[in-house]
Amino acid sequence: MESRSSDPRRPIDDFRPRWSGFAAFFRDRTDLDAPYLTELHHARGTRRAWTVGQWRSRVEATAAWLCGQGIGRGDAVATLAGNTAEALAVAYGCWLIGACCVPLNAQEAADRQVFVLRDSAARALVHAPEHADRATTLAKATGLPLHHTAELPAESATAVEDPAVGLDVAALRLYTSGTTGEPKGIITTVGNVLTDLDALASIFGWDSDTRVYTVLPVHHANALVISSLLPWHTGASTVLTDRFRTEHFWADVAAERATTASLVPTLLEFLLAADGEAPECFAEVLCGAGPLLVETALDFEKRFAVPIRHIYGLSETTCVASAMPALPDEQRRHWHADFGFPSIGSALPHAQMAVLHPVTGEEMSAAVRGELAVCGAIIMREYAGRPEATAEAFRGGWFHTGDEGFWRPGPDGRPVFFITGRMKELIIRGGHNISPFEIDEVLRTHPRVAFALAVPFEHRVYGDEIAAYVVTDGPLTEQEVLDHCAARLDFAHQPKVVIFGDDVPYTATGKAKRLELKNRLATELAAYRDAGFRRPKVAPEEQP
């Protein structure tokens, strides 16, 4: 096979964004009286709304405020603001002046947040009132200046005079889950974002009648790109909620006349388990960020008469790399169900995908499993400060996703892709990436544990759930192991099942063979696929 030595970030077609930078893109929308953003904050009991013109004014004011705090081009600004209009305003304001936004996940441990703030060299931290205590802790650890969201200006009569230009400007710095070693900062550029937006617009066909219901967290690329920026780009509008609540979902969709939402498979399961009906206005679900089971897709479509469009991507691919096209019901269900795994569709415009042999890098033929790989102008610029990690991910002219899959010829002759699992060892529970190594470490702090590994297993609701494989060094019960973990990990990260064994599965180089262990235990763990696990009575200790 001829070696691919080209850059996986290279454009694969003649598309180039027509704007000189984010500011030109942002100011290109001129239907000033049209609705853009509605914020529903159920915890506060508030509803706020902005037209296009009002949102433009607010973002311009936020950009000017950032400049007044000494933030300039190339600087990083962190946010700990949840799903609020202020979180979006800071992000858009950063991009307007050429700064990079570093959104923090409020659910993560303080030590990881401190690492992100230090690694990104953030110049400031903007926080919502709900996170004031954690923000104070982070400021003490890092010396960062704190800014409350109440400081942000509401509007501005004038635009920023010197907006940033350029497509290679760093826009987002998101962090991996750190499966091995420390988390890596993913640098996504303005050009990456605008390219992915153009591709998504051509696939989804959104217009001014489209209204997106946003429940995924805006510290994630999905909510930022699909549910926030894409509506701006296509003339649509978006409804931002503070978090997903099963009991409010369909009522909010009906009241706000939402037409679509981007969800993870776990949320589909929650909706299936609850009462409720989809209103006629709701036309489609986009689903990604986790393993979608065939039966979940089929059950949801049958129950609610709403089609599911499966999408696939990583933060390293900006957001979405492939998506199912809009298909007639029978054809869509064929790609959902007839191959054992729901299809993730074909590569988006401006991107290419392939299935590679995990050792040789050779492109695999139809139906043969290998590693999913992507190239095109949606690929991140780099892992910040990690040239070796970047080179490893970019080897052979492809970005290597670490996910296993295969392809088959589609109706139009283009490859249609399927994802079958993860070659990397991340656990994806409810759409959230969990590093198994942090669980391993907690398990091994028990004085009667000689060896332990966190092992994912298939779960109907969460996609992945967590088991612990334990080799003991003395008398030990399953409940003792579970209680030990419950005192040190939050519920999402806790093992729910313990399996005891006698052997330690290692490779010749001394690495634990987690995936082999997962396959070996699959039959035994299949008994827990539909189990409902309750939170233990033991309260987790305060995170450091």
Cβ neighbour number for residue 255 with a 10 Å cutoff: 13
Distance CA 6, CA 538 (A): 54
The residue ranges of every structural domain in the chain are: 427-528
- Average of per-residue pLDDT across 374-383: 97
Q: Which of 133-147, 262-276, 324-338, 504-518 shows the lowest per-residue confidence on average (mean pLDDT)?
A: 504-518
Which alpha helices (H) appear in 42-162, and where do they start and end? 52-68, 85-97, 110-119, 132-142
Q: Measured between alpha carbons, how far is 452 from 444 in angstroms, rounded to an integer?
A: 6
Residue with tokens 């970019």: 394
Which pLDDT score is estimated for 511?
A: 57
Angle at 186 between CA 184 and CA 187, to 5 degrees: 140
CB of 92 closer than 8 Å to CB of 138: no
The token pair that represents 222 in the structure block: 């999905």
pLDDT, one tens digit per residue, over 139-162 is: 999 999 999 999 999 888 788 888
What are 393-436's pLDDT values in tens digits? 999 999 999 988 999 999 888 999 999 877 777 788 998 878 78
> Taking a C-beta distance cutoff of 8 angstroms, is the pair 62, 153 a contact?
yes
Write out pLDDT tens, residues 211-258: 999 999 999 899 999 999 999 999 999 999 999 999 999 999 999 999
DSSP β-bridge partners for residue 471: 451
Give percent of the chain with pLDDT exceeding 70. 95
How far apart CA 524 and CA 14 sit, in angstroms, is: 52
Angle, CA of 8, 9 and 10, to the nearest 5°: 90
Interval 275-294 mean pLDDT = 90
Contacts of 478-484 with CB under 8 Å at 24 or more apart are 480/446, 481/443, 481/446, 481/449, 482/536, 483/536, 483/538, 484/442, 484/443, 484/445, 484/446
Angle ∠(388,123,220) on CA atoms, nearest 5: 65
Indicate the pTM of the whole model.
Answer: 0.85
| Mean pLDDT to the nearest integer, 164-185 | 86
Residue keyed to tokens 């490779």: 507
C-beta of residue 262 within 8 angstroms of C-beta of residue 288: yes
How many angstroms separate the Cα of 81 from the Cα of each of 31, 377, 490, 544? 28, 30, 21, 20
Alpha-carbon span 244 to 476, nearest angstrom: 39
Give DSSP secondary structure letters for 340-385. SS-EEEEEPTTEEEEEE-TTT-PBP-TT--EEEEEEETTS-SEETT
Residue (of 418, 398, 259) closest to 317 by Cα position: 398
The angle subtended at Cα 213 by Cα 252 and Cα 348, nearest 5°, is: 160
E strand or H helix at 76, and its extent? strand 76-80
Mean pLDDT value across the chain? 91
In this prediction, residue 510 carries a pLDDT of 47
CA atoms within 13 A on the CB side of 305: 6
| Tens digit of each residue's pLDDT (9 = 90 or more) over 441-463 | 789 889 999 888 999 999 999 99
Q: What is the pLDDT of residues 350-361, one digit of tens each?
A: 999 999 998 899
81 phi and psi angles, rounded to 5 deg? -130, 10
Angle value at C-alpha 378, between 374 and 384, nearest 5 degrees: 95
Position 178 scores a pLDDT of 56
pLDDT band at residue 2, thresholds of 50, 70 and 90? very low
Query: Which string of b and e fits 6-15 if b means at least 16 CB within 10 Å?
Result: eebbeebeeb
Assign domain 427-528 to its CATH architecture.
2-Layer Sandwich (3.30)
Q: What pLDDT score was predicted for residue 181?
A: 63
Confidence of residue 263 (pLDDT cuts 50, 70, 90): very high
Lowest-confidence segment of 27-31, 96-100, 409-413 by average pLDDT:
409-413
Res. 503 pLDDT band, cuts 50 70 90: confident
pLDDT tens for residues 179-192?
Answer: 456 889 999 999 99
Which residue type occupies 7?
D
Q: Tens digit of pLDDT for each residue in 455-484?
A: 999 999 999 999 999 999 899 999 999 999
DSSP H or E stretch at residue 514: helix 514-525
Buried b (16+ CB within 10 A) or exposed e, 374-388: bbbbbbbbbbbebee
